[in-house]
Chain A
Amino acid sequence: MRTPDYKIQSPAVAERFAAIKRRPVVLEIDRLGREFAGATGPVTALRELSFAVHRREFVCVIGPSGCGKSTLIRMLAGLDTPTSGRLLLDGKPVTAPGPDRGIVFQGYTLFPWLSVLRNVMFGLEMQGRTGTAAEADARQWLDLVGLAKFADAYPHQLSGGMKQRVAIARALAPNPRVLLMDEPFGALDAQTRAQMQAHLLEIWRNVDVTILFITHDLDEAVLLADRILVLKANPGELQEVIEVSVPRPRCIEQLTTPEFQATRRRLDELIHPKLHTPSERLPIVRLTQAGDDVE
């Protein structure tokens, strides 16, 4: 099937991108670089990465393993320091972790000794907010992720999807400017993941937060993002920024639309270039009998 060019945008989508660009820049990344000391000399994880994220934009970062996606998000969170370049949040440099940047990790990092409610209250308590006001606030966030009934449950009693929903509520509770998500649905089964994606979009619509979402799932990136930053590995560099031409609101049925497929195909070419060029055949010796073919 011929798919249209992924760059073609309908007037509504073009208008939407224009509107996003008029909004103030929340996150500015300026010639960011990170080197690690390797056994044979310094290894460059990220090099000369520059881009800006506008308020309430949904940005996905995608790339092959080793492209520095996780390094990028760790630096944004303040858990790692860049070796060159600058990171600005609302114009102020990022130096340490702080409640203005919420983060949801792939592994479940809920505090297992705290109930779901207390987990969500953790960030509020760190800001010195305690008591009924903080609790009411936390319950509101639990409501938003649909887990109000589980306020008194403990993390080990929850399924993986529910745990990540609590993690989202916990990250959002201190009212961060940016929500950083590091492959948050990577460990979930396909069905739960689809639900979580729909739900994340719903949360994003209703909460004043900018999302930077790391994934290696191409469909996920196209389904969620306004823009997709495609990185390449060794060294980690920005390859292309794709403006997703799929109109909003998004839903799983759009997976088959031409715009979706076009963007999906472009991502595929960028991430798996080898699959699109004829490669040599593997020298595999036949180990089955004639007539026993599977295809």
Chain B
Amino acid sequence: MSRWFAIRQELPVRRVRLLGVGAFLLPLLVWSLFSYVPWLWHPMIKITEPAGVSWVRPGQLLPREDFAKLVENRRAESAAVPEGVRANPIFFQPPHAVARALYTAFTTKPTLRGDKWLHESIATSIKTIFWGFVISSLIAVPLGILCGAYVTASRLTEPFVDFVRYMPAPAFGALMVAILGIHLEPKIAIIVIGTFFQQVLVVANTVRKVDNGLLEAAQTLGARPRQLILRVLVPASLPDLYNDLRILLGWAWTYLIVAEVVGVSSGITFFINQQAKYRNFDNVYAAIIIIGVIGFTTDQILGWFGRRLFNWKNPRPSRFRDVMGRLFAGREVLLFPDKPAAP
């Protein structure tokens, strides 16, 4: 039995899974406690019985102090006292409401002309992020590889890239709308601006991390500069580049939210804003959770593929390797005798 807390000590696989589930259950537990235990927080009073007070209705939420004052006043007037139960504000929705909304958000009809169904909003968002990320990667990855390979390329581009990197992408919003119109194009452009400059630097750094020994070995085997890039630098850094792109895709989601309010709002941000206007906060939570689910699932799937694509980089326990290991453990001498066999 290994200990739960030992510095830098690996844990058994089962416990890692258990902790992974716990990572989600723990916040859910805290959320539930604040939602369902009446004496935790619950700063509002939900009126159950107005008792003749003209300006309150059943179901209305009042701050506790206001309700207390109201009760005091009524008592002083010896009138009937309104009744209520402790409640959370409208923007704090309990888990069950959000869980229900995860379904009902998809069935909530667009209220106004121009509003969108949730699935339409999600599709628009995914489309925006997909094109933004693809366009950015198509330029940034080759450029980053060049910067990682040639110091001249790096010194020529990186100072400027570093400079632009500090300009917040949303600052280009108005400009992009003026240039590209009000629909999807400026939004894609903002994701490109937000991702591209980081991407160049990250890719260049990853390529620079390739072991110099590999380059020297390839050179002594007759590789020319072009081959050094295509046959050594690129394959050697590919697993790390893949992981970089995974992380950058996560950043692109952050830019999505600011990009979508540029020009005509669209996508999931527009849905969230509209639902918040209608005070459907359960739908707001549902939409936010859906963004998380989409991002997390994409990342997990990409990670799963990555481990299989580049298994030379992430050697995982494999039955094949176990068998080989057992077959040849300590048998190097047999395979490879000290004295060569007589001819």
A114 to B220, CA, bound (A): 17
Which of B46-54, B211-219, B269-277 makes up part of the contact surface? Answer: B211-219
Residue in contact with A156 in the complex, picked from B220, B223, B315, CB distance below 8 Å: B315
Q: Counting CB contacts under 8 A, is B296 at the interface? A: no
Residue in contact with A123 in the complex, picked from B221, B224, B338, CB distance below 8 Å: B221
* Tally of chain B residues near chain A (CB < 8 A): 31
By a CB distance below 8 angstroms, the chain B residues around A199 are 336
By a CB distance below 8 angstroms, the chain A residues around B222 are 97-99, 123, 126-127, 174
Closest to A122 in B: B221
Closest to A199 in B: B336
Question: Please, what's the 1-or-0 string for B110-124, where 1 marks a CB less than 8 Å from any CB in chain A?
Answer: 000000000000000
Interface size class of A (residues with CB under 8 A): 35 or more
Residue in contact with B310 in the complex, picked from A101, A113, A114, CB distance below 8 Å: A113
A residues 156-194 near B (Cβ < 8 Å) are 156-157, 159, 161-162, 165, 170-171, 174, 192, 194
Q: List 6 A-B contacts (CB under 8 A).
A: A109-B217, A111-B214, A113-B238, A113-B310, A122-B218, A155-B312
A195-B216 CB under 8 A given contacts A113-B238, A156-B315, A162-B332: no
Once A and B bind, how many residue pairs between them come within 8 Å at the CB atom?
Answer: 94
Are A97's CB and B312's CB within 8 A? no
Q: Counting CB contacts under 8 A, is B321 at the interface? A: yes
By a CB distance below 8 angstroms, the chain B residues around A195 are 332-333, 336, 338
Are B340's CB and A112's CB within 8 A? no
Are A105's CB and B217's CB within 8 A? yes
Question: Please, what's the 1-or-0 string for B315-339, where 1 marks a CB less than 8 Å from any CB in chain A?
Answer: 1000001001000000011011011
By a CB distance below 8 angstroms, the chain A residues around B340 are 202
A77 to B213, CA, bound (A): 13
Are A109's CB and B214's CB within 8 A? yes
Q: Counting CB contacts under 8 A, is A136 at the interface? A: no
In angstroms, how far is the closest chain B Cβ from the Cβ of A56? 18
By a CB distance below 8 angstroms, the chain B residues around A24 are none
Question: Please, what's the 1-or-0 string for B227-246, where 1 marks a CB less than 8 Å from any CB in chain A?
Answer: 10001100110100000000
Residue in contact with B236 in the complex, picked from A101, A111, A198, CB distance below 8 Å: A111
Residue in contact with A109 in the complex, picked from B213, B235, B315, CB distance below 8 Å: B213
A109 to B216, CA, bound (A): 9
Question: Please, what's the 1-or-0 string for A132-171, where 1 marks a CB less than 8 Å from any CB in chain B?
Answer: 0000000000000010010001111101011001000011
Other A-B contacts than A79-B219, A79-B220, A122-B218, 5 sampled, CB-CB below 8 A, are A114-B235, A126-B224, A126-B227, A161-B332, A252-B338
Are A78's CB and B220's CB within 8 A? yes
By a CB distance below 8 angstroms, the chain A residues around B238 are 113
Q: Counting CB contacts under 8 A, is A107 at the interface? A: yes
Q: Counting CB contacts under 8 A, is B313 at the interface? A: yes
A residues 79-106 near B (Cβ < 8 Å) are 79, 97-99, 101-103, 105
A61 to B216, CA, bound (A): 21
By a CB distance below 8 angstroms, the chain A residues around B217 are 103, 105, 109, 111, 170
In angstroms, how far is the closest chain B Cβ from the Cβ of A220? 15
By a CB distance below 8 angstroms, the chain B residues around A99 are 220-222
Question: Please, what's the 1-or-0 string for A4-17, where 1 marks a CB less than 8 Å from any CB in chain B?
Answer: 00000000000000
By a CB distance below 8 angstroms, the chain A residues around B310 are 113
A107 to B238, CA, bound (A): 22
A252 to B310, CA, bound (A): 42
Are A103's CB and B312's CB within 8 A? no
Give the 10 A-B residue pairs with the shortest CB-CB distance, closest first: A99-B222, A123-B221, A97-B219, A126-B222, A109-B217, A109-B213, A146-B336, A103-B220, A97-B220, A113-B235
Are A153's CB and B336's CB within 8 A? no
A194 to B336, CA, bound (A): 12
By a CB distance below 8 angstroms, the chain B residues around A252 are 338
A63 to B106, CA, bound (A): 77
In angstroms, how far is the closest chain A Cβ from the Cβ of B329? 9
By a CB distance below 8 angstroms, the chain B residues around A194 are 338
Are B216's CB and A79's CB within 8 A? yes
